[in-house]
Structure 1
Amino acid sequence: MVDHQRYINAVDVWIIERPERVILAFVLLTAIFAVGFTNISTESGTSQFTEDSPAQDALDDVNQRFAPPFEEANGSTQLIQSGPNVLAKDELVAMLEVQQRLVARKNLRVVATSSAARIVAHTLDPNATTLDAQIRTIERATPTEIETAIRTAAVRTGFTELLSEDFNRKSASAAATVGTVHHDVGGVSQSAGTSGNSPLTDIQTRTQSVAESVDSDIRVFGSGVVSTEFTNIIFDSLIIVVPAVALLILVFLVFAYRDPIDLLLGMLSLVMAVIWTFGFTGLAGLQFTQMLIAVPPLLLAVGIDFGIHAINRYREERVTGATIDESMRATTDQLLVAFFIVTGTTVVGFAANGISDLGPIRQFGLVAAVGIVFTFLIFGIFLPATKVWADRLRNQRGIREFGVRPLGSEGSLLGRILTVGVVVARRAPYALLAATVLISVGAGFYATGVDTSFSQDDFLPPEEVPDYVAGLPEPLAPSTYTVTATSNFLDERFATTQDDTVTIYVEGNLRKDSALESIQRANQDPPNTLTPNNREVDTESIITVIRDYAEQSTAFAQLVDRNDVDGDGVPDDNLGDIYDALLDSSYRGQAREYITPDYRHTQVVYSTASDAPQEEITSDARAFTDRYRFPAIATGQTVVLQAVSDAIFESAIKSLLTALVVTVLFLVLVYYGIEGRPSFGIVNLVPIVVSVALLAGSMRLFGIPFNALTATILSITIGLGVDYSAHFVHRFADEYDERTDLFAALEETVRGTGGALTGSMLTTTTGIGVLVLAITPILGQFGLVVALSIFFAYLTSILITPSVIVVWDRITR
C-alpha cells in the first residue's frame, strides 16, 4: 500500500493553517487564466471534421487541379427566386437587375453570372451579351415573344436545371429558379464541410441587401450564409442555455447547500473552473468550436458533485460537535482520495476521445480532461480553504449558520428512501444481480441498432425555431435563421443538387493507349446506386467532352476515328494528340474540367440514385474504384460525409474500449495502493458497465444517433459514472474499516454519501438537461444523453452497488 496520508496531511496544512494564502494563490491564477479567456477565437462549421480525411484530400485535389467554367472564380453565390411565375416578364427583369447591380459593386468581386433570365434574353437577341443589353431586350419583348423564347430555351442543355420541377413548358411558367454569381475571392476551396471563417461571408451578406432592393422574392444562399449561421448558432445557444442552466443550478444548489455563504462559495468555485478551463483554451491557442459548448455543463456536473460532497461531509462532522479544523481534516482525509479517484477516471473517460481520427473530438477530449483537473484543484483545495476561512470569520463576527444538517441524514425521508438498495442487498442480492445482467445484455444488444450520422444539418437550427425561443426578448432573442428552410426549399423544388454526384479521382499516365478504354470498361454494369434511372450509368468525364466536340468538329471527329481501333467512339491510340487538339479548341474550358495539363489526373463524375442511402452510395463508389487500372479514389460530398460518419462510429467504440480498459487498470491500482483491496476496482466498475448499456439502449429508443458530439458520450459516461460509484465504494471502504457489520457500513454509506449523490444528480441532470433548449439539434441531443448517463450512474450506484458489495464480501470471505 502507498502511504497517501502524508500527502493529504501536507495539503491539510495549507487548507487549515494557511487558508488566506491558498485563496490568494487561486485568485491570482484566476486572473492569469482570465487573460486567456479573452483571447478565445471561434471556429464553426463542419469543415473542421473533414480535415485529414483521404476522401477530403482527394476532393481538395480535384478542386485545385480541375478548372471550373470560370477559371478565376472560386466562390459562388446562389440567387433563389420564387413566386407565382418566375418566368414572367417583371420577374425576369428583377433577376437581371440584381445581377447587374452586383456586377456594378466592385467590392463584391463578381466575375461572371448565370441565370435562366440571361438564357431567355440571349434567346430573344443573340447579340445581347451584357446584362444591360439583356434587361433592355426583356423590357422591349412582348409576353408572347418571351413565352416563345422560353419554349425554345427549354430544349437547350442546362436551362431546365435552373428551374424548379414544376416548370411547365406549355405555359412557360415555373415557381422557382436559381441564378448564380461567381466571385474571385482568392483560393476558396469547395470542401464537403462548411467553414465558419469563409471569406464569402461578408460578400454574401452585402449581396442579400442588393437582392432586397428589387421588387421580387430573391434570397441569397451560399457557404458564406451558412458560415454566418454556424457562428450565430454558437452564441445564440450559449445566450439561451447558460442563463437557464444557471437558474436551475442555483435553485437546486439552494436546496443542497441551504446556506447563503456556502452557496456563494460553491458558485464561485464553479465560475473559477470555467474561467480556468477556457482561459487555458485561449492561452493554448485552441479555437472555440460547437463541440466545446458541451464542456461547461460537464465541468458543472463534476464541480457540483465535488462541492456538495465537500460541504455535506464537512457538515456530518460539524453536527457531532467537532471543531472547524477537526471537521475539515476529516473531510479532506476522505474526500481528497475520492476526488482523486473520480478525477482520474473522469480524465480517462474524456481523454479517451484523444484517439479519435477527428480533430474536433480530440480537442474536446483534451479541453474537457484539463478542465476536470482544474475542477479537482479548485474544489479539492480552494473550496475547503475558503470554507475554513469563512466559518472562522462567522465565529468571529457571530454570523448565524443555516442548513447545517447534512443531506440524507438518519431519520429524514431521503435517508429512508436511499436505503432501498441496502434492503434488497440484504434479502436477494443474487436475484438483483441476475436481473441486472439480463437487462444490461438486452439493452446492449438492442443498442447495436443505434444509427450513426454526420451532416451539416446537425449543427444548424430547425427550419422553424420553437416558440419559446422565437418569443425571447432582447438580448436573448436569437438571430434570424434561413439556411435550413432554404436548403429544404431547394431539395423540394429542384430535381438535382451538387450532393447527387460521386467523383472518381484517377491518377496515372493518361497518354497510355488503354487509359480511356479502361475508364469506358469500368462504366459497364455499374451498381444501382450509380444509375439514376436504373438503366445505364450517367457520367461526365473527358470521354464526354471528346464525344461532344466530335459532334461539333468534323476534323476532330476524323482524328478520333483514326485512333479508335475498336470503333466504340473512344480513341485507343495517340491520346496525347487527342488531348492537345481539345485544349487548342473552343472546348478547352470543358476539357480542363476533367483533365490536367500534364495529362496525369482526371475525374469521372457519376450521378447517383436520388433514393439511395449515403452509406450504400459510398460503399459502391469505393468498390467501383477497383475497376480502374490506374490508382483511383472515390470522393465528393456524399463520400466525405460518410467517411466522417464512419470515423464517428469508430471513435465511439474505440474510445469506449480504451476508457473501459484504462479505467479498470486505474481503479485496480488505486484501490490496491490506497486500501490494499484491488478487487474494489471491479466492484467500482460494475454499475458503470450497466449504465453504459442502459444509455446506449436509450439512445436507440429515443432515436438519438451517434453524431459528432454524442459519439463521445459512451466514454464520458464511464468518466462521469465512476464519479458516483467511486464516492460510494470509497466511503463504504472507510465505514467498513470502522465497523464489523457489513450492512451497518452500507446503511451509513448510503445515508452519508447517498444524500450528496442525490443532490448532485438532481442538480446536474436538470442543469445539463437544459441543453435540450439549445437551438442546435446536436446540442439538445447531447444534453439529453448526458443527463440520462448521470441519472443511470446514480441509480445503479444506489440500487446495484450494495448488492455487488454483498456478493463481493461473500466471495472474498
Structure 2
Amino acid sequence: MLIIWLKSISALVGLKGGLTVDLIVPISMIVLGVDFVVHSVHRYKEEIKEGYSPRDGLKIGLAGVLAALLLAMASDSIAFLSNLSSPIEAIIHFGFAAAIAVLSAFIILGIVAPITTMRIDELMQISGKQFKGKLHTSNRILGAIGVASATGSAVIILIAVNTLIGVITLLVAGLIFIGIPVTYLSMSNNKTQAKRQPVSKKLSSSPASHGLTSCVEKIVITATSHSPAVLVITAVVTALSVFFALKLEPTFDVKDFFDPKSDMVIGLNKVDEHVGDKGGEPGIAYIKGDLTDPNAIAAISDFIESLRDIDNVAERPSGEITIGLDVVNTLNIIMGNPIALTAIKDATGIAIEDKNEDLIPDTKKQIATAFTFARKNGVPGPGGNLILRPDQVRGAIYHSDGEESLTTIVFQIPGTRDQAVITKAGRAIRPILEDLESHPSISIARLTGSPFTREVQLSATTRTLYTSLPIAITAATILLIMTMRSFKYAIVTVIPIGLVVAWLYGIMQITGFSLNFVTAMIGAISIGVGIDYSIHMTERFREELKRNPSRVTAIRRASRGTGVALLASAASSIVGFVILGFAPMPMFASYGQLTATMIFLALIASLIILPCLLMFVTKESDAAGKELQIKLKTSRNEG
C-alpha cells in the first residue's frame, strides 16, 4: 500500500520516474516505514501487557507515542526536502518523493497499522478461542515468514517487473494473511456471540522477550554508568571519522554501477586493454563565433596542437590528436585538394588562396565561400567522387545565416574510469580554452563531453551533500527546539545525527567506497533514520522523567520500552539491507551494505551515546516523579 501511495502521489505531483523515484526511494522507505510501525505497535503492546483492553491500550499507547511519531515525520520530511537545494534534477525528485513516502508511511504504518492490530486482537479476544501453545507459536512464525515473503516479493515485482502484477500480488497477500483470518475471527464471534471483556490482569512476557529487554537495558545502563569514558571515546572516534570523511572524493566507475561480469564492463575492459593510451572516452571543446575569420581558425588550430602537450589526451596511431571532422581539418581537406579549389572557383568565381601556406584561406570571404560550397555540394575529389559529403561538412561546421557559426573539437582521454584523470585533463585544457575565448572573433569556447559532464554532476553531488546536510540539521534543530520547548534536549537529540553521518562517511573512505550519486543520497537517509531513533529515545526519556523518581529509573524504563523497539526496528531493516548487499549489481549492493551499516550506527548512537548525553544534561531534580512520590507519601501520612 505504501508503494502504491508513493507511486500515485508522485505521478499526481508530476515527479518523473527513474532510478531514484522507482527504486531507491521505495527501498529506502522500508527503514522509516518499519520504524513507524514498530514504535506504534510496540507501544500499544506495552499497554496491553499492563492489563488494558485492546481498545484502551491503543488509545493510551498511541497517545503516548503520537507526538514522537509526528515529530519524527516532520523532521524526516525536512531532512529529505533539504535536497531541493541541489542543482541536480534527480536529487530534487528524490527529496520530494522521499518526503511523500515519509508522510504516507506515517499514516499507513504509524496510524492504520496499530488500529488494524488492535482490531485483530479484539476479534481474537471476543472469539473465545485460546491462541496459545506450540501450535499457535508455530503458526505465528510461519505467518510472519509468509507475510514477509509475500509482501517482499510483491514489492519487488511492483517496482522492478510489472506494476499491475505487483498490485495483484499485494492484494492476494492481503486477502490470505489479513482478509481470511479476520473473516474467520468475525464468523467465530458471531457463532459464540461472546462479549468483549477487558483484560483484567497483566500479561507476562515470553522468556525470549524478557531476555532481549534485559539485554538492551543492561547495555544502556552500563553505558550511562560510564558516561565520561563513552563520550571521550566517541569524540576520538568521531574526530578520526571526520578526518577520513574529508578525504572522500567523488569518483565514477562503471564497475560501481554494473556487474563486473556484464558484457558492457567486459567490453570496456577489452577496449582499455587493446587501445591503451592511443584512445579513450571522447572529450569535446565547444567553440562558437565568427568562424570565417582566418585568425580565429588559426587560433583554433593552435589550440588543437596544444592538446599534444597534455598527458591525459590520447594521440591516435595515425598521429592525429582529434577524431571526427571540425572546422580546421575540413578547411585543411579543402585547401589540400586542387580539384575542390577548382570546383569552388568554377561555381562561384572566387579563387581560394593560401599565401602563407597554413591550409587556411586568406580572407573571410574565401572561407565563407568555401564553407557555403562544401555545405551544399560536398568536397569533390578525383574521378568525381566526393571526399566529404555535404552532411559531413554540415556536421563539422554548424552555420546559419546572420548567426555565429560553431564547431566541436573532439579528442580522446584514456583511463577515464579514474575520476582524477578527468579532473587533471580538465584543469589543463580549460585555461587554454579561456585564452581561445578571449579572441575577438570567438564568443564561446567551453569544455563538454561525457567525462566532463560527469565531472560536473559529481561536483554538484558533492556540493549537494555539503549544503543539504547543514540545511537539514539546522532545520531539524529549529523544529526540535520549537516542539520540545527545550534547547538542551533539542541539541542533544541532534548530536547523534552528526555522529552517524561522520562515522558513515569515514567508514566509506576507509573501506574504499566512492562518493557518487547513490552514496551521496545515503547522507540524507542517515539524517532521517538517525533523527527518528534519537527523537523516540529522547521523548520516551522525558516522558519517564515525569513518572519516575530518578534519572536512572527513567533511562532504565526508556530502554526497556523504546530501546527494545529501536532494536527490533533496526534489526529488521538491517537484515533486509544486508540481503540487498548481495545483489549482483554493485550499485544496489553498495547501497544495501552502506544503508545496513548506517542503521547499525544509528542504533549505536541512540542506545549508547544518546543516553549518556541525556544523563549529562539532565539534573536529578528534573525527575518530576520524585516530587510526585513525595506528595503521595505526604498525603498518605496526613490521611
1:595 aligns with 2:397: yes
Fraction of identical pairs, as percent: 23
Q: How does 1:280-679 map to 2 (within 5 A)?
A: 280-284=9-13, 286-291=15-20, 292-400=22-130, 412-426=211-225, 428-454=226-252, 458-463=256-261, 482-494=263-275, 499-523=280-304, 525-526=306-307, 528-529=310-311, 531-533=313-315, 538-539=321-322, 541-553=326-338, 556=341, 563-564=353-354, 566-574=356-364, 575-583=367-375, 584=377, 585-586=379-380, 587-589=388-390, 590-598=392-400, 600-611=404-415, 613-628=421-436, 629=439, 630=442, 631-672=444-485, 677-679=486-488
Cα deviation per residue 1:392-441 (whole Å; 9 max; x = unaligned)?
A: 22222123356865699996354234333333323x32332122112111
Cα deviation per residue 1:331-373 (whole Å; 9 max; x = unaligned)?
A: 1121111111111122222222222222222222222210110
AA paired with 1:556? L
Please give the alpha-carbon distance, in whole angstroms, between the structure 2 residues aligned to 1:662 and 1:405. 43
CA drift of 1:572 comes to 4.2
Question: Secondary structure, in 3 states, of the residue corresponding to 1:330?
Answer: helix
Question: Secondary structure, in 3 states, of the residue corresponding to 1:703?
Answer: coil
Please give the alpha-carbon distance, in whole angstroms, between the structure 1 residues aligned to 2:610 and 2:283. 53
Please give the alpha-carbon distance, in whole angstroms, between the structure 2 residues aligned to 1:745 and 1:724. 17
Q: How does 1:53-72 map to 2 (within 5 A)?
A: none
Please give the alpha-carbon distance, in whole angstroms, between the structure 2 residues aligned to 1:720 and 1:328. 25
Question: Secondary structure, in 3 states, of the residue corresponding to 1:393?
Answer: helix
Over 3 Å counting, the alpha-carbon distance change for 1:528 and 1:498 in structure 2 is closer
CA drift of 1:691 comes to 0.8
Please give the alpha-carbon distance, in whole angstroms, between the structure 2 residues aligned to 1:411 and 1:395. 23
Please give the alpha-carbon distance, in whole angstroms, between the structure 2 residues aligned to 1:483 and 1:407. 54
**TM-score by structure 2 length?**
0.74
AA paired with 1:591? V
Cα deviation per residue 1:370-396 (whole Å; 9 max; x = unaligned)?
A: 011011112232123223322222222
Q: How does 1:217-236 map to 2 (within 5 A)?
A: none
Does the 8 A contact of 1:312 with 1:406 survive in 2? no
AA paired with 1:615? T
Please give the alpha-carbon distance, in whole angstroms, between the structure 1 residues aligned to 2:584 and 2:11. 25
Does the 8 A contact of 2:336 with 2:359 survive in 1? no
Does the 8 A contact of 2:533 with 2:606 survive in 1? yes
Question: Secondary structure, in 3 states, of the residue corresponding to 2:290?
Answer: coil
Please give the alpha-carbon distance, in whole angstroms, between the structure 2 residues aligned to 1:277 and 1:782. 20
AA paired with 1:801? L
Over 3 Å counting, the alpha-carbon distance change for 1:424 and 1:392 in structure 2 is closer
Please give the alpha-carbon distance, in whole angstroms, between the structure 2 residues aligned to 1:333 and 1:604. 66
AA paired with 1:579? F
Does the 8 A contact of 1:415 with 1:755 survive in 2? no
Compute the RMSD of aligned alpha carbons: 3.1
Over 3 Å counting, the alpha-carbon distance change for 1:811 and 1:638 in structure 2 is farther
Cα deviation per residue 1:570-590 (whole Å; 9 max; x = unaligned)?
A: 334233234235444323544
Does the 8 A contact of 1:529 with 1:609 survive in 2? no
Cα deviation per residue 1:766-811 (whole Å; 9 max; x = unaligned)?
A: 1122212323211111111111111100011111111101221259
CA drift of 1:442 comes to 0.9
AA paired with 1:671? M
Cα deviation per residue 1:697-750 (whole Å; 9 max; x = unaligned)?
A: 111122221222211111210111111111100000100111231111011111
CA drift of 1:554 comes to 6.3
Please give the alpha-carbon distance, in whole angstroms, between the structure 1 residues aligned to 2:620 and 2:330. 78
Please give the alpha-carbon distance, in whole angstroms, between the structure 1 residues aligned to 2:588 and 2:232. 36
Does the 8 A contact of 1:408 with 1:754 survive in 2? no
Question: Secondary structure, in 3 states, of the residue corresponding to 1:738?
Answer: coil
Cα deviation per residue 1:593-623 (whole Å; 9 max; x = unaligned)?
A: 3212437333242434524612222333333
Of the structure 1 ranges 761-770 and 607-616, higher mean CA displacement relative to structure 2 is found in: 607-616
Does the 8 A contact of 1:318 with 1:324 survive in 2? yes
CA drift of 1:283 comes to 4.3
Does the 8 A contact of 2:231 with 2:609 survive in 1? yes
> Match for 2:522 among 688, 707, 713?
713
Please give the alpha-carbon distance, in whole angstroms, between the structure 1 residues aligned to 2:339 and 2:105. 78
Question: Which sections of structure 1, spanning at least 5 residues, go unmatched?
Answer: 1-271, 465-481
1:776 aligns with 2:549: no
Question: Which sections of structure 2, spanning at least 5 residues, go unmatched?
Answer: 138-202, 381-387, 623-639
Question: Secondary structure, in 3 states, of the residue corresponding to 2:515?
Answer: coil
> Match for 2:556 among 747, 767, 787?
747
Does the 8 A contact of 1:425 with 1:803 survive in 2? yes
Please give the alpha-carbon distance, in whole angstroms, between the structure 1 residues aligned to 2:489 and 2:131. 38
CA drift of 1:444 comes to 1.1
Match of 1:473 in 2: none
AA paired with 1:580? T
Please give the alpha-carbon distance, in whole angstroms, between the structure 1 residues aligned to 2:15 and 2:585. 22
Cα deviation per residue 1:289-322 (whole Å; 9 max; x = unaligned)?
A: 2223122332221222222222222222222222
Over 3 Å counting, the alpha-carbon distance change for 1:723 and 1:382 in structure 2 is same
Does the 8 A contact of 2:287 with 2:406 survive in 1? yes
Please give the alpha-carbon distance, in whole angstroms, between the structure 1 residues aligned to 2:8 and 2:463. 31
> Match for 1:801 among 607, 610, 613?
610
**TM-score by structure 1 length?**
0.59
Please give the alpha-carbon distance, in whole angstroms, between the structure 2 residues aligned to 1:561 and 1:538. 30
Over 3 Å counting, the alpha-carbon distance change for 1:486 and 1:501 in structure 2 is closer
Please give the alpha-carbon distance, in whole angstroms, between the structure 2 residues aligned to 1:320 and 1:409. 18
Please give the alpha-carbon distance, in whole angstroms, between the structure 2 residues aligned to 1:624 and 1:707. 29
Question: Secondary structure, in 3 states, of the residue corresponding to 1:773?
Answer: coil
Question: Secondary structure, in 3 states, of the residue corresponding to 2:287?
Answer: strand
CA drift of 1:649 comes to 1.7
Please give the alpha-carbon distance, in whole angstroms, between the structure 1 residues aligned to 2:336 and 2:28. 65
Match of 1:71 in 2: none
Cα deviation per residue 1:44-72 (whole Å; 9 max; x = unaligned)?
A: xxxxxxxxxxxxxxxxxxxxxxxxxxxxx
AA paired with 1:432? V
Over 3 Å counting, the alpha-carbon distance change for 1:406 and 1:591 in structure 2 is farther
Over 3 Å counting, the alpha-carbon distance change for 1:695 and 1:522 in structure 2 is same
Does the 8 A contact of 2:216 with 2:560 survive in 1? no
Does the 8 A contact of 1:564 with 1:572 survive in 2? yes
CA drift of 1:626 comes to 0.4
